[in-house]
Amino acid sequence: MPISPNFTATQSAGTPSIFTLTDTSTGTDVTIVKRRVYLLKADGTYLVPTGTTTNYIEWSISNVNTRDPLTIDLNVLSQDTALSITVQWLNVSNVVVESKAISFAFTAYNESFYYGLSEQQVANQSLAASTDWYENKMKLRVELDSAQQAIQFASDIYTAQSALNRATYLSNNANLFF
């Protein structure tokens, strides 16, 4: 059966700077020897690890130095970020055999902050009585949800990133809003 390219991306709240790509392709193609990952940001630039001189990241098909050749951990996020991620499957001549692009919104930074607000609310129930505090908490939730909707409904990393930037502004300026 020929290869049907696919991948997923996951992020953990405990390490928001890292996300993991997992190759979930089905089928086989013996000509494929490596993968490349392109992380396109909403501003049209590519995100790569520090020290990388290309606009892509090499992802080996088999590498004894990785825990699993089907996964790659990318430590590249410094804030919540919307990305259009393209994975290319290449042959020995660096010719693209297959390619797939999927958009994602990585929100672990602000989701962790939001959870912290919920913990504050439990510890100090009078916070919910503060209209400003509660409205600002809801603004944060709306921005996070807006980012996810932009990805889910339109693969729109520009609108998603705009929402994430507004959410990050709220969390970075907590002393003004919470």
- Calpha distance 7→46 (Å, rounded): 19
Domain count, the chain: 2
Backbone angles phi, psi at 69, to 5 degrees: -65, -10
Per-residue pLDDT for the chain (178 aa), expressed as one digit of tens each? 789 999 999 999 999 999 999 999 999 898 999 999 999 999 999 999 999 999 999 998 875 445 567 899 999 999 999 999 999 999 999 999 999 999 999 999 999 999 999 999 999 988 878 889 999 999 999 999 999 999 999 999 999 999 999 999 999 999 999 9
Q: Based on the domain organization, do 102 and 126 belong to the same domain?
A: no
3-state helix, strand, coil in the chain (%, to 5): 35, 30, 35
User: Among all chains, which residue has been given the structure tokens 């999927």?
Assistant: 102
Question: Which structural domain, as residue segments, surrounds residue 34?
Answer: 7-106
* pTM over cut 0.75: yes
Q: Based on the domain organization, do 50 and 124 belong to the same domain?
A: no
